[in-house]
Amino acid sequence: YMGSGIMSQPKKPLYQIVFDKFDKDGTGKLSVTEFRFLCNDLGYGLSERQVSAAVEVIDKDGDGIISLSEFAAWWKTSNRSESLELSEAELVNRENASQAFRFFDKDHSGNIQTSEFPAFFEYLQKFGLVGSRTQEECLADLDISGDGKIQFYEYVQFLERIGSIPRRVWCE
């Protein structure tokens, strides 16, 4: 019992306070527009392309918006500001990766399903990105979460691991 009769609320973590401030519509998700305002307020003068590239990678489930858990994972990285500031060449690489990913995501689910993977694997082979890996080995290498589908962030991390694009730590 406290003298004032008011129970103290547990403190919210900083990432939650920041997230809530910019979740203007109260959906519990940050839209691209809301994330752009957040970045601007934090002093990151990002272009539309940079904001879109950041959202695509932070958005682990591929639904086009950033959930609190996705935001928290990004917020807790030590180099979150560096992960936003991509050079022109890095932006082009990410955009190309994104276009290829979306092309093979036939059902527009935000991930490449097992049924979509054979065509995606052929594409990766065509560009020499799989080495001597079999289709099964490549799927296992790409599917970091082990959920049987490939999210965009997993594809980007794969491209980083094989040296196709520069390595960046986006989310843990």
- Residue 167 banded pLDDT, cuts 50, 70, 90: low
User: Nearest to residue 153, comparing CAs of 83, 106, 87, 88?
Assistant: 83
For the stretch 15-33, pLDDT in tens is: 899 999 999 999 999 999 9
Distance CA 50, CA 148 (A): 29
Distance CA 123, CA 77 (A): 32
155, two tokens: 């594809």
- Range 47-74 average pLDDT: 88
Distance CA 106, CA 7 (A): 52
